[in-house]
Amino acid sequence: MKTRTPVLALLLCSIFCLGLFNSASGMAENTIADRESIYQVALLQSLAQGHFDGMVTVGELKAHGDTGIGTFEGVNGEMIVLDGVVYQAIYDGSIVTPPDSETIPFSNVTFFETDVSLPLTGIADMAALQEQLNAVVNEHGANLFYMVKIAGTFSDIKVRSEYKQEKPYRNLDVALAADQVEFDFENISGTMVGLYCPSFMGGLNSIGWHFHFITEDLTRGGHVLQVNIDNAVASFDSTPGFTLALPDDNTDFQSMDLSLNMDEAIHRAETATLSDAAAETDKQE
């Protein structure tokens, strides 16, 4: 049976919660504390090492957040969670809505409440976008988590999805180099959902930003590789809590060496385009 156990709940900033201890009942305290937490399923490091077995269901995930990103059993497409709906951008770039029984090997979600907004105009690329977002992060605290929604019009956006993997699973970067599929959308409206992880998250996730995208008509999407924003508004939810769910009955997971440094492979998996992968192969030949 697939189960999960939340093993770690860090409340990194207690000011909000301390206020609740004074006034609210225990139930309200838990409910509101959970809403101010990033819920993470497994580790990006376990996904990078090819642990693609799902362990939390879509139904369970929705109890921990209404906004976020992730993937599905077998890395069967890219997950976008928006307004409480879990969307699956599959290998052909189209969106399906998975059943609540579908399982998830890696994800981050939270209940989204806008703390600060930032208008974005004429953002030429990912570096320029991250520079603008980081200015807000640095002002409000770089050692918190942030979920961000960037809604607007995009002059260009390159996203990817991938074919579902079969066992024995390869490492994520190897699987993507073989089975990644890319899509370019021009002059399209939609929403990017992004997660910012602070610098101390290097062993559990990746530091900095990770974005997925879904079109306004909810028909196309994927993991964002390149972006050019015409006009949009970024809404930030700064989040001081962190909850990690690990599989408690999965021998594959328990036998993994999670002290291995997967930084380079994770960077490749998150950023490499098909042309990057082709250039890398040419270099090796």
Binding site for Zn ion (CB under 5 A): 223
Q: For Zn ion, give the closer residue by CB, 69 or 137.
A: 69
H or E segment to which residue 265 belongs: helix 263-271
Nearer to Zn ion, 20 or 39 (CB): 39
Nearer CB in complex with Zn ion: 55/224: 224
DSSP state of 204: T
Identify the CA nearest to 103 among candidates 35, 178, 42. Answer: 42
* Residue 166: CB minimum distance to Zn ion, A: 20
Closest residue to Zn ion using C-beta atoms? 223
Write the CB contacts of 18 (distance below 8 Å, at least 6 apart in sequence). none
Cβ count near 63 (within 10 Å)? 11
**Which of helix, strand or coil describes residue 77?**
coil
Contact between 113 and 35 (Cβ < 8 Å)? yes
Burial of 88 per CB tally in 10 Å (0-12, 13-18, 19+): buried
Residue 202, both tokens: 């290097």
Q: Distance between CA atoms of 57 and 102, rounded to whole angstroms?
A: 6
Strands (E), 105-179: 106-110, 116-123, 145-162
Question: How many angstroms separate the CA atoms of 37 and 22, rounded?
Answer: 20
Note whether 105 and 203 are within 8 A (CB). no
Task: CB nearer to Zn ion: give 51 or 223.
Answer: 223
- Minimum distance from CB of 146 to Zn ion (Å)? 16
In whole angstroms, how close is the CB of 69 to Zn ion at the nearest point? 6
Shortest Å distance, C-beta 29 to Zn ion: 33
- Minimum distance from residue 68 beta carbon to Zn ion (Å): 11
Residues whose CB falls within 8 Å of the CB of residue 100, separated by 6 or more in sequence, listed in order? 57, 58, 59, 62
Residue 170 vs 212, nearer CB to Zn ion: 212
Minimum distance between the CB of residue 210 and Zn ion, rounded to whole angstroms?
6
Residue 158 or 223 having the CB closest to Zn ion: 223
If the CB atoms of residues 220 and 223 are measured against Zn ion, the closer one turns out to be 223
CB of 14 to Zn ion, least distance (A): 31
Q: Report the nearest approach of Zn ion to the CB of residue 260 (Å).
A: 20
Q: Among residues 136 and 159, whose Cβ is nearest to Zn ion? A: 159
Work out the angle at residue 34's Cα, subtended by the Cα atoms of residues 88 and 149, and round it to the nearest 5 degrees: 45
